[in-house]
Structure 1
Amino acid sequence: MADYLHGVEHYYVDNDNRPIEILAASTIGLVATADDAQEALQASVTLGTGNSAVTFTAVEAGIPGNIIAVEVVKSDAASAELSVSLAGDVITVSLATDDQGDIDSTAADVATAVNNDNAVKVRVQATAGGDGSGAMGLAYLTYLSGGENEAFPLNTPVMVTSRTQIGKAGESGTLKQALGDIYTQSGAVTVVVRVAEGQNETETKANVIGSYDPETGKGTGLQTLLGAEAALGVIPRLLIATDFSHLSSVGEAMETVARDLNAIPIIDTDLAWSFTQIVTRARQLAESALLHGGVKYFDTAKKTYLLRHGSACVAGHIVRVDNEEGYWNSASNRRIYNIEGTAVPVEYVSKGPYAKTCLANQLNANNVMTIVNKQGGWYLWGNRLTNGVVMPHQRIRYIVGDSIVEAHQSYVDRNATGNYMESVKNGVNRLLRRLRTRNVISGGECWIDQELNQDAIGTGQVFWDYDLGFYDVAERLTFRQHVTDRYNESIFS
């Protein structure tokens, strides 16, 4: 009778038919240097003015200092002594009074009392204004403000979502320039990992490549990007290490990390390389977007041209195309804004007998992307990764696959009943139909391989298969001209 009920009850039943959400495709992962990036700032507040002012500054730099508050009160009794107390995060200063009950504490007295109190001095330090000889005034409860954490801690993933954060990147190193190049094209969510500038190129390269410590479970350099989802809730999908990716071993390290993230590494060539060296590098890389040519900017402050590697600019350009057209569209033959040209000349001929032999076409033929001038505008030119796969197709595979995996995390450890198997299959098919309706894919279907699953009974593993159909990217348009005299027959009819 323990489960007996005379009445009405209600249950909430999980809905297994929830649509599969597509994961974000356009987050950039950036590894860069910036030794003078903004450090942590201390919160502070100033009460009073001139010689009567006291500035309270948090001992611990960073945001935690902003929760500290200060109030200045006066005892109603005459001849009261100056006292300081701490309750939680509130510091109370009770001013001394003379035998008439008037305030008898100077700013210097208050600063000294605060700095001598064992409980308070570990939270704030006080500084009197001027010579501190003025009488301290009363003050309502006032919070310290202006405390900020270190903008870009070493080997720590930091999310950048606004160009205002560029101002915290300092002037040295590569971070400020890379973020600026991204934002010349588009607003973008960027996961930044700052690494230390070494004493020489070899040390800096080692810092960029980084390492992973299995004991602490933490990585440095490029390896830090693997922890971005756990720390920030986003997965970098376009990886760049502008001004470092052209160095030997850096590109290979980027590919390794990208493979774990299902991301696309955008790797620069050395701007001084010959065509043979560029092609050789392309064949060394497994599945990267290899970019040659760099970018040229005009610096209005320095009144000179700046030549830079182009991976940050192109990453921002890809994000802009993603936002405007969708990640399943090619970013090639879309205009790149706010650049003066390429850092090194890249010959491009759009038609005629030299179109196939121009440098831009030869780079593309060897799976190398570049930037070309078309009728006065600058355009990204090239679709293929170094393994010959069209970049949008690879990105679709990654995003669709990861979205399906993420959507089914809650399905783990359930009983593999017939309804369970069909529910998963139907959910994937609904996603594929939705993608087909949006012209992301040309088709797709999920099915259950009965024989495969029967053979796996007792192993705890179940299988679903699905396929994807991609739309071709129209890289080569061919028009065939026919000359005929049949239209002249009407003259004599």
Structure 2
Amino acid sequence: MAANFLHGVETIEIDKGPRPIRGVKTAVVGLVGTAPIFQVDGALASLNKPVLIQSDRDAARYFGTQIEGYTIPQALDAIFDQGRGIVVVVNVFDPETHVTAQAAKDVTFGADETADLGHKGVFGLVLTDATATTTYVAGTDYTLDPATGIVTRLPGGAISAAETVKAAYDFADPEKVLPSDIIGAVDVSGNRTGMQAFLDCYAEMGFWPKILIAPVYGTLTSVTAELDVMAGKLRAIALADAPIGTTMAEAIAGRGPNGSINFNTSSERMVLCYPHLKVYDLATDTERLEPYSQRLAGVICAVDNDEGYWVSPSNHDIKGIVGVERRLSAMINDPTTDVNLLNENGIVTVFNSFGSGLRVWGNRSAAWPSVTHPKNFIPIRRVADMLHESVELSMLQFIDRPINQALIDDIRESVNSFIRTLIGRGALIDGKCSYDPAKNEATQIAAGHLVFDIEFMPPTPAERITFESFINIELLNQLGGQ
């Protein structure tokens, strides 16, 4: 109340009562990899910066088309094939750094007046005659399309029709990208690179990516380990693939200390994917292999949007694929099948039986079988993350308010209202937020510290259904009309 004298009437607005809590976004993929940014408009090209992509048009506009050796365009196509979702993309490929020098080689102009240098993303072209005594001039004798590596002979120039010339140049080479580029760091200017750039997402976009992938590079133990670290920081899950060519036995052995692949982890935030998937390649009219993780990320987004983040991605169709790298036996009622054995060891795989199509198969993270707590179920881990983060972020409006009974009631009822909403949606079986005076001693409150308890239980996936069958001879009494 104002201390000054007033002969009259005044109104003072007081904020009290529970506040609505907004759930955080869950169907957000964090993708780190390489893109042929020499294809895109220079103003749109990005390096080590998170870029929000919401459609296939955005994907091509900001990160180019699918070219062998580059991971981002292929991964975006795989994600959007599944339906809906948004992707935060970090490109680490730098055409100025990740290049290879091509020594002078012979190229011949064809009947269409063009010559293909054999590489895409070409820079610093030096074109000479066959004896290397005459250097041709760009714009006078020829033109170059750097994105395609196509040189066109200009009429009236010094290059003769069908002439064989020597070409020396630098070309963009994604094989120069190292695991350290994908993992990233903080440079001397304070800029984050690689997957570390995901830490800038909330400040720039208001949300974090919740499904992390690094296709191709995610088969490396070093990258898998850092994906796990980043997932912990962001309250996300991370998807890792076994390397191409891994046998089922090697995938399972990879869960142990003597395994030769990146599967030896018991993190509840890591999802282990096996095997690679087959897709049809439009450019080559052949089948090619691609990482399972990028398709699974898209499936998770689609399930989040269509059914809810509390629903497991398991037993949902994988769209846009024509097969799997290795044939795996699959029967819903046979525990000895390949897919059941993989699931038993904490590996998410592909179910493909008669008439079933190709489906995600597996509910558990890499925490299984080491951790038997329900949080080894992928959807339960994600529900807990969403609940905790949503509640925490909503508390900004209560921070630094005077501690009194009204504040305690407002906080408790705000959380309980949110929990009731989640129960109504099916995300929780039950739950509540409570204030325990025994955990809030006077000295603690005097220090400005309040403690609340939250207990909750998400629905577990119906991973196993058992029927107990009995032959009951008493049912024979129905014969003869008795």
Report TM bin, short chain.
Answer: 0.7 to 0.9
Give the equivalent residue in structure 2 for 1:187. Answer: 84
Query: Which of 325, 339, 342 is the matching residue for 1:363?
Result: 342
**Corresponding residue for residue 316 of structure 1:** 298
CA drift of 1:200 comes to 8.0
Q: Is the 8 A contact 2:310 2:458 kept in 1?
A: no
- Structure 1 counterpart of 2:267: 286
Structure-2 separation of matches of 1:461 and 1:157? 36
State which of 155, 171, 178 in structure 2 corresponds to 1:204. Answer: 178
1:326 to 308, 312, 325: 308
Mapped partners of 2:250, 2:453: distance in 1: 42
Q: Deviations over 1:226-269 (max 9, x none)?
A: 11111222210000111110112101100101100000001111
**Worse-superposed segment, 188-197 or 399-408:** 188-197
Look up the SS of the partner of 1:487 in the other structure.
Answer: helix
1:219 is matched with: 192
How much does 1:30 deviate? 0.3
Gaps of 5+ in 1: 42-148
Measured against aligned partners, the alpha-carbon deviations of 1:387-444 in whole angstroms (never above 9, x if no partner) come to 1200110000000000000000121122211211121111111111121122211111
Structure 1 residues 13, 242: closer, same or farther in 2, change over 3 A? same
Q: CA deviation at 1:329?
A: 0.7
Aligned to 2:73: 176
- Work out the CA distance in 2 between the residues paired with 1:40 and 1:467: 51
By how many angstroms is 1:359 displaced? 1.2
| Distance in 1 (alpha carbons) for counterparts of 2:11 and 2:54 | 44
How far is the alpha carbon of 1:285 from its aligned partner?
4.5
Q: Could you tell me how far 1:344 is from its partner in structure 2?
A: 2.5
Alignment partner, residue 34 of structure 1: 35
Structure 1 counterpart SS, 2:438: helix
Instruction: Provide the alpha-carbon RMSD of the alignment.
Output: 2.1
Percent identity over paired residues:
30
The residue aligned with 2:54 is 161
| Counterpart selection for 2:237 from 264, 277, 288 | 264
Task: Report the CA distance shift for 1:37/1:376 in structure 2 as closer, same or farther (over 3 A).
Answer: farther
The secondary structure found in structure 2 opposite 1:408 is: helix
Gaps of 5+ in 2: 99-172, 256-261, 369-375
Pick one of 224, 237, 242 that aligns with 2:210. 237
Task: Sort the Cα spacing of 1:418 and 1:15 in 2 relative to 1 into closer, same or farther, 3 A.
Answer: closer
Aligned residue identity for 1:253: E
CA deviation vs aligned residue, 1:31-76 (integer Å, no higher than 9, x gap): 01014354445xxxxxxxxxxxxxxxxxxxxxxxxxxxxxxxxxxx
Matches within 5 A, 1:7-406: 7-41=8-42, 149-151=43-45, 153-168=46-61, 169-170=63-64, 171-172=66-67, 173-196=70-93, 198=98, 203-213=177-187, 216-279=189-252, 280=255, 281-287=262-268, 288-351=270-333, 355-374=334-353, 375-388=355-368, 389-406=376-393
Q: Distance in 1 between matches of 2:320 and 2:438?
A: 57
Letter paired with 1:286: S
SS in structure 1 of the partner of residue 218 of structure 2:
coil
Q: 2:371 aligned with 1:474, yes or no? A: no
Output the amino acid matched with 2:292: G
1:293–1:346: 8 Å Cα contact kept in structure 2? no
* Cα distance in 2 between the residues matched to 1:349 and 1:476: 13
In 2: Cα distance, 1:27 partner to 1:231 partner: 15
Higher deviation after alignment, 7-16 or 154-163: 7-16
Q: What is the distance in 2 between the residues matched to 1:379 and 1:310?
A: 11
Q: Is the 8 A contact 1:252 1:285 kept in 2?
A: no
Distance 1:449 1:365, change over 3 A: same
Residue aligned with 1:212, SS: coil
SS at match of 2:264: helix
TM-score, normalised with respect to structure 1: 0.73
Between the aligned partners of 1:30 and 1:37, the Cα distance in structure 2 is: 19
Tell me, what secondary structure is at the counterpart of 1:283? coil
How has the CA–CA distance of structure 1 residues 339 and 453 changed in structure 2, closer, same or farther, with 3 Å as cutoff? same
Name the aligned partner's letter for residue 211 of structure 1. Answer: A
> Which protein has the larger Cα radius of gyration, Structure 1 or Structure 2?
1
- What SS does the corresponding residue of 1:337 show, helix, strand or coil? coil
CA distances 1:273-293 after superposition (whole Å, capped 9, x unpaired): 233432324332422111101
1:458 aligns with 2:432: no
Query: 431, 439, 445: which is aligned to 1:444?
Result: 431
Number of aligned positions between the proteins: 381
Query: Structure 1 449/217 Cα, relative in aligned 2: closer, same or farther at 3 Å?
Result: farther
Q: Deviations over 1:198-226 (max 9, x none)?
A: 5786852110011134x644311111111
Any conservation in 2 of the 1:289–1:386 contact (CA below 8 Å)? yes
Give 1:156's aligned amino acid: K
